[in-house]
Structure 1
Amino acid sequence: MRTPASPLGRRTVLTGLGAGLATLGLSACGPRDTPREQSTTDTKAVTHPYGEADVPRSPRRVIALDPGQAMQVALEHGIPLVASATLDAEPPVPGYLPGGKREFEHLGFGQVDVERLAGFDADLVVGNTASLQDNYDAVAGLASTVAYANTRDAVEWHESALTVAGIYGVREAQQRKLDEYRDRAERFKNDNAELLADKKVALLRFTTDELRIVTDSIIFPSRILTDAGVRRTESSAPEQAEDTYTSLSPEQVSRLADADVLIHFSGGGAFEGGQVSSTFRRYTEGELWRRLPAVRAGKVFEVPRVSWWDGASASAAGALLDDLERLVPRFA
């Protein structure tokens, strides 16, 4: 982790921050930071992985530097985005987001052009640690800038969502969305307990060059499967606690023989669709794949990677539950 950056430009260093939330990147904002219009002062102090910032309580022009929580939480709560990173997908803004059709400048995937950002006259910039690790000082010279930790930094997706919501001033509203999701997941788990108790599932991702088992770990879709009561295979266990995937060569496909059901998606991040399609054919046209019990039983299901891999919000979690409601009856 980088040490906090020195003050620069419009950023003001403040002290007295709530230590209890420091590891998640937020100061103690207090019970009145939701809804935003109730704020009695213009700014609030925020500490985060790369420094400290004086952040507007009611931002008017916001830039999101990643299409994860920064964009998704903003769209869920009507935050005034003027520009945002978007997915390398079609559509670039997921359809499960309630504000996905709002107009804002699309910045593309994995690109931070400081000169371009300067033209938006933003009063708040939010991005995950990866998006800001090489250019935090330069971006912070343009506007109040806050970095937040996510699963890359071993932080749970819902904690990152709450952190970002706190930056935007809608933490309480985000907590309500998460509570609604958890209630729905618990109902699903109870309603399908008998069927799910008898099935073990492996979640697979085909990348540009290999097949990966998405492990039973901190990664977003794994947490949703756990919340929904879906049991994972022994082959889905991480070799090290922090591992989010296990790579399989075509000769190792038989490791998936412990799965009653295979759920898979292709790509994620920089998609490179043609190469992913080639990888998929290389694995699934082989004899070892055809011999797998789940394949022979017809229990192989494809799911959309935009929600299952690129999801980072309560809305995305709800989309995964939609898919599971459709698929789980077919596990039998």
Structure 2
Amino acid sequence: MVHVGRPRERVGITRRSLFGGVAGVGATALLAACGTSTAPSAPSAGSRSADAGGGPSRVVALSTGHLDHCLALGIVPVGLAVAVSEATDSRGIPDYIKQAFGDRYDLDSIQVVGQRMSPDLEKVAGLKPDLILSNKRADKGLTEKLTGIARTVQTNGGSEQFKADLKIVAEAFGKAADGERLLADYEGRARAWGARRGTPGTFSLVRGKGDQYLYFGTRALASIVGTDAGLTRPAAQQFDEAASRTLSLEQVGLLDADWVFYSFPGNSGDFTEAPLWKKLPAVAEGRAFRVDVDPWFLNASTVAADRVLADMQRFMST
């Protein structure tokens, strides 16, 4: 039996509902950290349709970035393709998305249709979608097959494109104005926090991936969030030809910054025991923080950006 995604209640996704579930931050504290200005109201969530004018009602999202933007716009997809993540459960929906939307939407109604780059086309077709969200990085052959099932809208993909991709998804639903309000709200709060902080600081981004360590340049979503808030990156992390570069234990000095944000899942936690790591001023002085790998390093959406911004506000206020 095919389960149609649906909101649990007919309530608009407001600033409070979007951020109320952020781990480690109470709703009241988070709203206070965001300033006193009133955020624009996000769209009301209809029972099944993407908009009141009869827009797409059965959407298959082929990445969690698409899922983020759909939910932020009040749309629950009927299908989702997932990426393998050490921080994601078997249903493929990251914890930060559940925390933001799990008490408002029936996320269990979303059917997993396989892996992001190789979805099960029979499962996709079986959901009878009227819109499929893919991205331009998908294999051309896959794109042709998807368009044979339903109207397919392609986003750009990549962390550096998350703002443009929100616009594409919003326009596909006939919700362009709502997308603009969501983005303006996020950017306004980032600027306001930066203005309150005054003196900018530098921050480093590093994570473990299997038996590798990666440090991130200016294309990373978390880098863009920091820039939006008036923060800067160390000279060694100003590269933009790729999202990340590999890092050896001997190169830990490249991470020197006022603040360090890291995620070392699994055995890569040994990195934090390395003498050079412990000698970093940010580490020695308590300005290095473990973060959730999904919003910080793996997903690309305004929902992920909002979580990163909230984390930065929380950590950097200490």
Q: Same fold (TM over 0.5)?
A: yes
Structure-2-length-normalised TM-score = 0.74
Structure 1 position 132, deviation (Å): 4.9
- Name the residue aligned to 1:28: none
Matched-pair contact (CA < 8 Å) for 2:216–2:244: yes
Matched residue, 2:203: 201
CA drift at 1:218: 2.5
Distance 1:213 1:100 in 2: 35
Aligned counterparts of 2:176 and 2:230: Cα–Cα separation in 1: 27
Q: Give the match's secondary structure for 2:57.
A: coil
Confirm whether residue 174 of structure 1 aligns to residue 174 of structure 2: no
Contact kept in structure 2, 1:76 and 1:97, CA below 8 Å:
no
Cα deviation for residue 105 of structure 1 reads 0.9
State the partner residue of 2:233: 232
Q: 1:131 Cα shift?
A: 3.9
1:78 is matched with 74
1:204-283 to structure 2, matched below 5 A, reads 204-215=206-217, 217-238=218-239, 241-256=240-255, 258-266=256-264, 276-281=265-270, 283=271
For structure 2, the 5+ residue unaligned runs are 1-49
What is the aligned length? Answer: 258
* Deviates most, 57-66 or 127-136: 127-136
What's the CA shift for 1:169? 1.6
Please state how far the C-alpha of 1:150 moved relative to its aligned partner: 2.3
Q: 1:80 to 1:237 in 2, by over 3 A?
A: closer
Secondary structure, counterpart of 1:37 in structure 2: coil
The offset of 1:312, in angstroms, is 2.5
Q: Structure 1 residues 79 and 255 mapped into 2: Cα distance closer, same or farther (>3 Å)?
A: closer
In the alignment, which residue of structure 1 is the partner of 2:151?
Answer: 144
Distance 1:112 1:188 in 2: 40
1:92 is paired with a residue whose SS is coil
Give the corresponding residue for 2:62: 65
If you compute each CA radius of gyration, which structure gives the higher value, 1 or 2? 1
The one-letter amino acid of 2:250's match is E
Evaluate the alpha carbon distance shift between residue 244 and residue 310 of structure 1 in structure 2; reply closer, same or farther with a 3 A threshold. Answer: closer
Task: Give me the TM-score of the superposition, normalised by structure 1.
Answer: 0.71
Q: Distance in 1 between matches of 2:110 and 2:142?
A: 22
Shift of 1:262: 1.1
Query: Which residue is equivalent to 1:114?
Result: 121
2:296 aligned partner, one-letter code: W
Task: Show CA shifts across 1:53-104 (max 9, x none).
Answer: xxxx611211111111x21111112225211124540472413544654422
| Closer, same or farther: CA 289–301 of 1 in aligned 2, 3 Å | same
Deviation of residue 200 (structure 1)? 2.2
Q: Distance in 1 between matches of 2:294 and 2:236?
A: 24
Residue 17 of structure 2 corresponds to which residue in structure 1? none
Shift of 1:211: 1.6
Is the aligned partner of 1:159 residue 2:164? yes
State the one-letter code of the partner of 2:151: S
Identity %: 27
Please report how far the alpha carbon of residue 117 of structure 1 lies from its aligned counterpart in structure 2 after TM superposition: 1.3
Q: Which runs of 5+ in 1 are unaligned?
A: 1-34, 39-56, 267-275
Q: Which amino acid aligns with 2:64?
A: P
Match of 1:183 among 183, 188, 195: 188
Distance 1:235 1:95 in 2: 35
Deviation at 1:319, TM superposition (A): 1.5
